[in-house]
Chains A and B, each alone.
Chain A
Amino acid sequence: MTDDRSTAHAATSGAPAGPGDHRSGADDAPLLEIRGLSKSFPGVRALDGVDFRLHAGEVHALLGENGAGKSTLIKVLTGVHARDGGEIRLGGVPIDAADTADAQRLGIGTVYQEVNLLPNLSVADNLYLGREPTRFGLRSARRTAAMARELLAGYGLSIDVTANLGDYSVAVQQIVAIARAVDLSGKVLVLDEPTASLDAGEVQTLFGIVRRLTARGIGVVFVTHFLDQVFALCDRATVLRNGRLVGERRIAELGRLELVTMMLGRELEAAQLHRRRGEGPKGEAFLAFEGFGRHAYVNPFDLEIRPSEVTGVAGLLGSGRTETAKLLFGIKEADAGSATADGAPLRLASPRAAVAAGFAFCPEDRKTEGIVGDLSVRENIMLALQARRGWLNPLSRGESKALADRFIKALDIRTPDAEKPIRLLSGGNQQKALLARWLATEPRFLILDEPTRGIDVGAHAEIIRLIERLCDEGLALLVISSEIDEIVAYSDRVLVLRDRAHVGMIEGADVTVDRIVGAIAAEGPATAAGVPA
């Protein structure tokens, strides 16, 4: 996430149509026109007189901080929420989708931010739910499967479509969700942070598909926090802040700094996305893993963890990054090697043991595993700390309130108050609350898996400030990320993984994007996210 536009463009080279290729001007009658849209929830004015225009054949970025109202706009458009006021026209005709099925019939296909489809149904059933081919009124499983296979082939995915969706990785599930929405979108395709769990190659496949759709005259609404992707794919951008329209711009006429300023309402210097290094107590390693590994999971590796040090973990999707984290945190028990803490042997047979040893792990799949939707923001933040203290030793309400408020402030979690059920927060703010949950346990060793996914640029900078502060206090961090420039921005050293093996450790001045990409791709075809091949 450095201020480097050339990086973004390089990633798209070789693609059929470049970002500067405007297929429609602002003067044509828009395909979708939203005027004065308003929507309030108890205590929040999520949308306040927002205008939005989408032209046929364009990719239109919908941007804004966490909680700005992007997802709400999409949900009002597609009939999930009823609007309080305003007008929506599709192809000049006023529309008012009563529910999502209605929106689908109107030709609006959507990938929602939180949707995970239905893990207990087959891939094919997920793709064609509600519109399966029938014979004599009965579903034809064979034809559904054949259609599903053909559809997914267009995404370079050849999987068993009769297996349950839940058997596949989050990335595959995401592609299935996208494929479904694309297939449903006769006129408009809406993608709410679709790339949050995709790797670089999959993102490129998605971009290719989006460009094919726009060539057919379909308008695409694209919500993301990856600004590189905005510049690589989108023609125009509409920015929201606190439920209000900030403005609409052509991407070609927009600089990155200006865009960030529009989103945040203040300037953010590139330097703020970098970590200031090294005032914390440097010291001896307090954790050591030797020959640590698990058969058919992660090859044995050696690793030492020192206080105040940030170890970045880089590698392609499936290279064993998350697996390494799960092994270190005891979610999977190692069957080889040993671990020592402060010189004493440490048995990491379960997450409980890891927590007892002062470890904390903020997992990647926060959307589905992390939050407890009906509990309040405060309770969600306190959960891990309370579990560690034991249920017989509860925090007093005052203490927990003060602690929650501190994290809400430190991470800028946008919520009217700490007692709001967390499911009512925007996606990015839920993630910040989860990060707070683990920080509240005051660990010695914190593992973060993709900590900035779905978090806006402003909050991103704040998380880097937080990492700085934690390191000054002596915390050791292991951070997994697909964004190489992000890893470079905060890591003291970078562990590189390939094919489930640790293949290198890059340290000190060598920690650069080029070196890391080189190490990842030492053999085999590989491009890392946002980085020229």
Chain B
Amino acid sequence: MTARNLPLIATLVVFIVAYALCAMQFPAMLSLRVVANLLTDNAYLGVAAVGMTFVIISGGIDLSVGSVIAFTGVFLAVVIRAGIDPITAFVLVLIITTLFGAVMGAMIHYLETPPFIVTLAGMFFARGACFLLTTDSIPIDHPTWDFITSLNYRLPGGGRLTLVAMIMLVVFLAGILVAHFTRFGTYVYGMGGNRQSAELMGVPVARTTVAIYALSSGLAGVAGIVFALYTSAGYSLAATGVELDTIAAVVIGGTLLTGGVGTIAGTFVGVLIQGLIQTYIIFDGTLSSWWTKIVIGGLLFAFILLQRGLVHVAARRRAAARMAAA
């Protein structure tokens, strides 16, 4: 039981230690306002990372996430400018992105093509679609839109929990529910453990694969909406490389890239760690924002080492325990 939660605990410990160190240097970082901003600033990343966690646990990868986020923003900006109501636009774009993911999933399963290749193609495709719609950065301006972006919950101490932060929290909670309390969740873990065994045990592999990529692209669509609400614009070149940031958050969160092992909650902490580094850099004021990338790179290495170590220690302890029991 504990062995299974070790990576998650390790991530949590790293986050707490890092946060404590930051707070020691900048006590202001302890305020609720900073925490709320951290959630808002990373909401789109978090939403996309939930979908990515499912994909990676199933043993796959989705490289199209960043492009789908950009496409969503551009699509929203274009159709709202054309006079369509934002709510209708949301529904439309979610249908499009979910179908897009379903098609990728179907190609992965039926054409027996590696997810890396299919979603790489999907990445170019979605990015290309952005440029087809427009090459400009289009501001979004609509009364309903303004109302939606103004929604927030006042926290004690002056912070605001924005709508996008709330969306992210809800997506995480829903993700945890789906991963651990539904059959679909078990199928995802099962396929990541051993695809052939899962199939022989009666897991509907075709349906599940399609659903996993549909979920990932659908959530990338939600992340795109969140990103558009956050920036109030649609731009073809937005969110480049976000797929890699999400993969980093997922891995730092304790999910194994080989599939079968990982948690949504861990991904949440992974996103928080990335946000924390950015916040620190902003507080410091002298550091280049590229330090974020360097620190994340370092953390990724550290985490992979840490996980290896923990898994090793756990295995040894277990073997010893079995021996004692025998």
- Residues of A whose CB lies within 8 Å of any CB of B are 80, 99-101, 103-104, 110, 112, 114-121, 125-126, 129-130, 132, 134, 137-139, 141, 162-164, 167, 180, 296-297, 318
Q: Mark B247-263, 1 if CB is under 8 A from A, else 0.
A: 00000000000001100
Q: Specify which chain A residues have a CB less than 8 angstroms from the CB of B200 in the assembled complex.
A: 80, 100, 110, 112, 115
Q: Is B4 an interface residue (CB 8 A)?
A: yes
Expressed in whole angstroms, the Cα–Cα distance for A164 and B260 within the complex equals 12
Contact at B202–A101, with CB atoms within 8 Å?
A: yes
Contact at A130–B203, with CB atoms within 8 Å?
A: yes
Q: Mark B180-204, 1 if CB is under 8 A from A, else 0.
A: 1111011101101110111111111
Partner of A138, one of B4, B182, B197: B182
6 residue pairs A–B, Cβ–Cβ below 8 Å: A118-B194, A118-B197, A121-B190, A130-B183, A130-B187, A164-B3
Chain A contact residues: over half helix, strand or loop, or mixed? loop
Q: Is B20 an interface residue (CB 8 A)?
A: no
Contact at A129–B326, with CB atoms within 8 Å?
A: no
Partner of A129, one of B186, B192, B320: B186
Contact at B177–A138, with CB atoms within 8 Å?
A: yes
Q: Specify which chain B residues have a CB less than 8 angstroms from the CB of A121 in the assembled complex.
A: 186, 189-190, 193
Number of interface residues of B (CB under 8 A): 32
- Residues of B whose CB lies within 8 Å of any CB of A are 1, 3-4, 177, 180-183, 185-187, 189-190, 192-194, 196-204, 260-261, 318, 320, 323-324, 326
Expressed in whole angstroms, the Cα–Cα distance for A143 and B170 within the complex equals 27
Expressed in whole angstroms, the Cα–Cα distance for A118 and B183 within the complex equals 15
Contact at A120–B192, with CB atoms within 8 Å?
A: yes
Q: Specify which chain A residues have a CB less than 8 angstroms from the CB of B1 in the assembled complex.
A: 162-163
Q: Which 10 A-B pairs have the closest CB atoms?
A: A101-B202, A120-B193, A120-B260, A118-B193, A138-B181, A100-B202, A118-B190, A115-B200, A104-B202, A139-B181
Partner of B194, one of A80, A101, A116, A130: A116
Give B249 Cβ to nearest chain A Cβ, in Å: 21
Contact at B186–A101, with CB atoms within 8 Å?
A: no
What is the chain B residue whose CB lies nearest that of A75? Answer: B200
Q: Specify which chain A residues have a CB less than 8 angstroms from the CB of B3 in the assembled complex.
A: 164, 167
Partner of A296, one of B4, B186, B190, B323: B323
Give B316 Cβ to nearest chain A Cβ, in Å: 11
Expressed in whole angstroms, the Cα–Cα distance for A119 and B201 within the complex equals 13
Contact at A129–B194, with CB atoms within 8 Å?
A: no
Expressed in whole angstroms, the Cα–Cα distance for A126 and B196 within the complex equals 14
Contact at A129–B182, with CB atoms within 8 Å?
A: no
Contact at A99–B202, with CB atoms within 8 Å?
A: yes
What is the chain B residue whose CB lies nearest that of A165? Answer: B193
Contact at B261–A120, with CB atoms within 8 Å?
A: yes
Give B205 Cβ to nearest chain A Cβ, in Å: 8
Give B151 Cβ to nearest chain A Cβ, in Å: 30
Identify which of A103, A117, A119, A162 gathers the most chain B CB atoms within 10 Å of its CB. Answer: A117
Expressed in whole angstroms, the Cα–Cα distance for A114 and B1 within the complex equals 27
Identify which of A110, A120, A137, A162 gathers the most chain B CB atoms within 10 Å of its CB. Answer: A120
Contact at A167–B186, with CB atoms within 8 Å?
A: no
Expressed in whole angstroms, the Cα–Cα distance for A110 and B326 within the complex equals 30
Give A139 Cβ to nearest chain B Cβ, in Å: 5
Q: Specify which chain B residues have a CB less than 8 angstroms from the CB of A318 in the assembled complex.
A: 326
Contact at A129–B323, with CB atoms within 8 Å?
A: no
Contact at B197–A116, with CB atoms within 8 Å?
A: yes
Q: Specify which chain A residues have a CB less than 8 angstroms from the CB of B189 in the assembled complex.
A: 118, 120-121, 125
Q: Specify which chain A residues have a CB less than 8 angstroms from the CB of B183 in the assembled complex.
A: 130, 132, 134, 139
Q: Specify which chain A residues have a CB less than 8 angstroms from the CB of B192 in the assembled complex.
A: 120
Contact at A100–B181, with CB atoms within 8 Å?
A: no
Expressed in whole angstroms, the Cα–Cα distance for A296 and B260 within the complex equals 31
Q: Specify which chain A residues have a CB less than 8 angstroms from the CB of B204 in the assembled complex.
A: 99, 101
Given that A118-B197, A119-B193, A163-B1 are known contacts, is A296 also in contact with B320, CB under 8 Å in the complex?
yes
Contact at B186–A132, with CB atoms within 8 Å?
A: yes
Expressed in whole angstroms, the Cα–Cα distance for A132 and B326 within the complex equals 31
Q: Specify which chain A residues have a CB less than 8 angstroms from the CB of B194 in the assembled complex.
A: 116, 118-119
What is the chain B residue whose CB lies nearest that of A110? Answer: B200
Give B192 Cβ to nearest chain A Cβ, in Å: 7
Expressed in whole angstroms, the Cα–Cα distance for A199 and B266 within the complex equals 41
Q: Specify which chain B residues have a CB less than 8 angstroms from the CB of A100 in the assembled complex.
A: 199-202
Give A184 Cβ to nearest chain B Cβ, in Å: 8
Given that A99-B204, A116-B197, A117-B201 are known contacts, is A139 also in contact with B186, CB under 8 Å in the complex?
yes
Expressed in whole angstroms, the Cα–Cα distance for A80 and B193 within the complex equals 19
Give B176 Cβ to nearest chain A Cβ, in Å: 12
Expressed in whole angstroms, the Cα–Cα distance for A117 and B182 within the complex equals 19
Give A73 Cβ to nearest chain B Cβ, in Å: 15
Q: Specify which chain B residues have a CB less than 8 angstroms from the CB of A163 in the assembled complex.
A: 1
Expressed in whole angstroms, the Cα–Cα distance for A118 and B187 within the complex equals 10
Contact at A129–B260, with CB atoms within 8 Å?
A: no
Given that A80-B200, A121-B190, A129-B201 are known contacts, is A164 also in contact with B182, CB under 8 Å in the complex?
no
Expressed in whole angstroms, the Cα–Cα distance for A104 and B203 within the complex equals 11
What is the chain B residue whose CB lies nearest that of A368? Answer: B194
Q: Specify which chain A residues have a CB less than 8 angstroms from the CB of B199 in the assembled complex.
A: 80, 99-100
Contact at A297–B323, with CB atoms within 8 Å?
A: yes
Q: Specify which chain A residues have a CB less than 8 angstroms from the CB of B203 in the assembled complex.
A: 101, 129-130
Q: Specify which chain A residues have a CB less than 8 angstroms from the CB of B186 in the assembled complex.
A: 121, 125, 129-130, 132, 139
What is the chain B residue whose CB lies nearest that of A162? Answer: B1
What is the chain A residue whose CB lies nearest that of B199? Answer: A100
Identify which of A104, A119, A129, A318 gathers the most chain B CB atoms within 10 Å of its CB. Answer: A129
Give B310 Cβ to nearest chain A Cβ, in Å: 15
Give A76 Cβ to nearest chain B Cβ, in Å: 14
Identify which of B197, B198, B203 gathers the most chain A CB atoms within 10 Å of its CB. Answer: B197
Expressed in whole angstroms, the Cα–Cα distance for A318 and B323 within the complex equals 10
Give B148 Cβ to nearest chain A Cβ, in Å: 30
Contact at B181–A118, with CB atoms within 8 Å?
A: no
Q: Specify which chain A residues have a CB less than 8 angstroms from the CB of B187 in the assembled complex.
A: 129-130
Expressed in whole angstroms, the Cα–Cα distance for A120 and B190 within the complex equals 7
Identify which of B189, B190, B201, B318 gathers the most chain A CB atoms within 10 Å of its CB. Answer: B201
Q: Specify which chain B residues have a CB less than 8 angstroms from the CB of A118 in the assembled complex.
A: 189-190, 193-194, 197-198, 201, 260
What is the chain B residue whose CB lies nearest that of A181? Answer: B201
Expressed in whole angstroms, the Cα–Cα distance for A116 and B196 within the complex equals 10
Given contacts A100-B201, A141-B181, 11 further A-B contacts (CB under 8 A): A99-B199, A100-B199, A115-B196, A115-B201, A116-B194, A125-B186, A129-B190, A130-B186, A130-B187, A139-B183, A139-B186
Q: Specify which chain A residues have a CB less than 8 angstroms from the CB of B193 in the assembled complex.
A: 118-121
Q: Specify which chain A residues have a CB less than 8 angstroms from the CB of B197 in the assembled complex.
A: 115-118
Expressed in whole angstroms, the Cα–Cα distance for A137 and B194 within the complex equals 26
Expressed in whole angstroms, the Cα–Cα distance for A100 and B196 within the complex equals 11
